């Protein structure tokens, strides 16, 4: 009976542990939009973690049954450290990307001052302001692009910004 409880606990702990690991890795795309994690990469990371945590839990339950709880605390602490590390790297990458977008906005404003009749500049400026979360400026740039070049793409951009 004790062995079955240990196996059940090891199974559920390993499943939860690998699920959290894959969730942290997928968070890069879902929250920060920094590129997708392919299914094969997520599956590989999750399955390797599942097997290693499951086998190490069983090994610890058999060899050192009194220290099994402290081993699991160690594993959870390592996972929490990994989560904090990945979250901080995702935030740092997001800041770098936003810095590049702001630099491109400044450059586009210089180009627009030299060529104010270029609708492509205003379209790109609208896209960048939308990515930076500045909806009012994005809408203003999209309206200017539509005024200079009344195409369906520019009308669609304005419609999409108004809906958001």
Give, for all 164 residues of the chain, the pLDDT tens digit.
Answer: 777 888 888 899 999 999 999 988 887 777 766 677 777 888 888 999 999 999 999 899 888 888 888 999 999 999 999 989 988 988 898 899 999 999 999 999 999 999 998 889 999 999 999 989 899 999 999 999 999 988 888 889 889 888 87
For 129, the token pair is 């302001």
139 within 8 A of 161, measured Cβ to Cβ: yes
Q: Domain segments of the chain: what residues?
A: 2-91, 115-163
Task: Answer whether 0.85 is exceeded by the pTM.
Answer: no
149 within 8 A of 124, measured Cβ to Cβ: no
Give the whole-angstrom CA distance, residue 117 versus residue 140.
15
Tell me how far CA of residue 132 lies from CA of 13, 21, 103, 138, in angstroms.
Answer: 40, 29, 12, 9
Closest CA to 29 of 105, 117, 112, 90: 90
């Amino acid at each position: 009976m004790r062995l079955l409880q240990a196996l059940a606990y090891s199974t559920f702990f390993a499943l939860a542990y690998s699920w959290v690991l894959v969730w942290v890795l997928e968070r890069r795309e879902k929250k920060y939009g920094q590129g997708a994690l392919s299914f094969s990469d997520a599956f590989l990371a999750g399955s390797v973690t599942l097997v290693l945590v499951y086998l190490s839990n069983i090994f610890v339950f058999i060899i050192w049954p009194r220290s099994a709880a402290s081993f699991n605390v160690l594993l959870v602490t390592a996972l929490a450290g990994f989560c904090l590390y990945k979250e901080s790297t995702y935030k740092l990458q997001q800041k770098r990307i936003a810095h590049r977008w702001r630099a491109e906005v400044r450059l586009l404003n210089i180009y627009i001052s030299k060529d104010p009749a270029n609708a492509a500049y205003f379209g790109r400026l609208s896209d960048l302001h939308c990515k930076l979360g500045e909806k009012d400026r994005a809408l203003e740039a999209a309206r200017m692009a539509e005024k200079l070049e009344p195409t369906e793409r520019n009308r669609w951009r304005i419609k999409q910004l108004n809906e958001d």
